[in-house]
């Protein structure tokens, strides 16, 4: 009866229960091979029927629940497949548009190579972060991956990163990619990365919904404070304003020290710190 209900449902289970009750009544209740019953046997048969209905109901409920879970799992897999297809198509279109934009900029600014290269490098930084975001199905990008993607062209031994593994929302990830690109570009031109012995240390922490990042250069040429506000300075101010953040730059004799702070919602599902990442270590090249 139980297996009949599990395999065939309530109808099969009830049929098995009735058939089993009739066979038991006819073949096993004295006097055998008759359908006469005493009061005690009637009560026993009634108890059997009630127990049978309970077993059939439980088995059929379990069967329906299992079938529903299987249907939901199939639906979830179909939705996930469709979402991945949509994200891949979006990524393909974005890459095509970016390639078109880069071609237009290269052509229009062919007589201004310095400006052209600066714009193209920033677009490349955004494109790399877009790729990171696409790998998480649009959820965002990890801070360590953003830093690694931007600093990959430089020697691994010259760069160390220390901090939790934080998944940043898409908008914040793109903004930080631009800021890190500006810092890396300046370090390449004027700072630690312009020297063969220069080193770069990046530390960050997340506590109480506040993200703090320190960019510290050492071993490079002597740096001095700029006399005017360039694109990078204006970019930092405007980009950090929307996140209630601030930037503090110290032009020390040993190298630039830049501290960024952002106010984040600690309960945001897109920010997932891993407090196990505490020891400083160079980033991986792949």
- Give the containing element (helix H, strand E) for 132: helix 113-135
Helix/strand/coil for 76: helix
The CA distance from 52 to 13, in Å, is 8
Stated pTM of the model: 0.54
Closest by CA to 147, choosing from 137, 159, 138, 133, is 159
182 CB-near residues (< 8 Å, 6+ apart): 231, 232, 235, 236
Biggest CA-to-CA distance, the chain: 113
109-263 fold: Heat Shock Protein 90 (3.30.565)
One digit per residue, the tens of pLDDT, for the chain of length 286 reads 888 888 888 888 888 888 888 888 778 877 777 777 778 878 888 888 888 888 888 888 888 888 889 888 888 888 877 766 666 666 666 667 767 777 887 777 888 887 777 777 767 766 766 676 666 666 778 888 888 888 877 776 788 999 888 888 878 888 888 888 888 888 888 888 888 888 999 999 988 888 899 999 998 888 777 766 655 566 676 777 777 788 888 888 888 899 988 877 554 545 554 443 433 344 443 3
Closest by CA to 204, choosing from 151, 153, 147, is 147
Q: How many CA atoms within 13 Å lie on the side-chain side of 193? A: 23
Listed by start position, the domains of the chain span: 1-106, 109-263
Burial 231-245, CB ≥16 within 10 A → b, else e: ebeebbeebbeebeb
């Amino acid at each position: 009866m139980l297996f009949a209900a599990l395999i065939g449902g309530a109808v099969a289970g009830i049929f098995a229960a009735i058939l089993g009750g009739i066979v038991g009544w006819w073949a096993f209740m004295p006097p055998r091979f008759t359908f006469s019953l005493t009061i005690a046997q009637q009560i026993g048969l009634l108890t059997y029927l009630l127990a049978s209905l309970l077993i059939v109901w439980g088995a059929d409920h379990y069967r329906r629940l299992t079938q529903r879970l299987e249907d939901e799992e199939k639906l979830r897999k179909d939705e996930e497949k469709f979402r991945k297809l949509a994200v891949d198509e979006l990524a393909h279109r974005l890459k095509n548009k970016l390639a078109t934009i880069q071609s237009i900029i290269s052509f229009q600014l062919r007589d201004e190579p310095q400006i052209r290269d600066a714009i193209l490098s920033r677009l490349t930084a955004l494109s790399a972060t877009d790729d990171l975001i696409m790998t998480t199905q649009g959820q965002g990008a990890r801070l360590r991956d953003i830093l690694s993607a931007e600093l990959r062209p430089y020697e691994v031994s010259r760069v160390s990163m220390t901090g939790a593994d934080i998944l940043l929302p898409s908008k914040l990830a793109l903004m930080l990619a631009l800021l890190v690109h500006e810092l890396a570009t300046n370090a390449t031109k004027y700072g630690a990365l312009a020297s063969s012995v220069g080193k770069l240390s990046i530390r960050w922490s997340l506590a109480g919904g506040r993200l703090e990042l320190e960019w510290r250069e050492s071993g490079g040429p002597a740096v001095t404070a700029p006399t005017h506000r360039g694109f990078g300075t204006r970019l930092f101010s405007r980009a950090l304003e929307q996140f209630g953040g601030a930037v503090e730059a110290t032009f020390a004799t040993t190298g630039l020290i830049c501290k960024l702070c952002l106010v984040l919602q600690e309960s945001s599902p897109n920010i997932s710190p891993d407090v196990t990442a505490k020891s400083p270590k160079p980033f991986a090249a792949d």
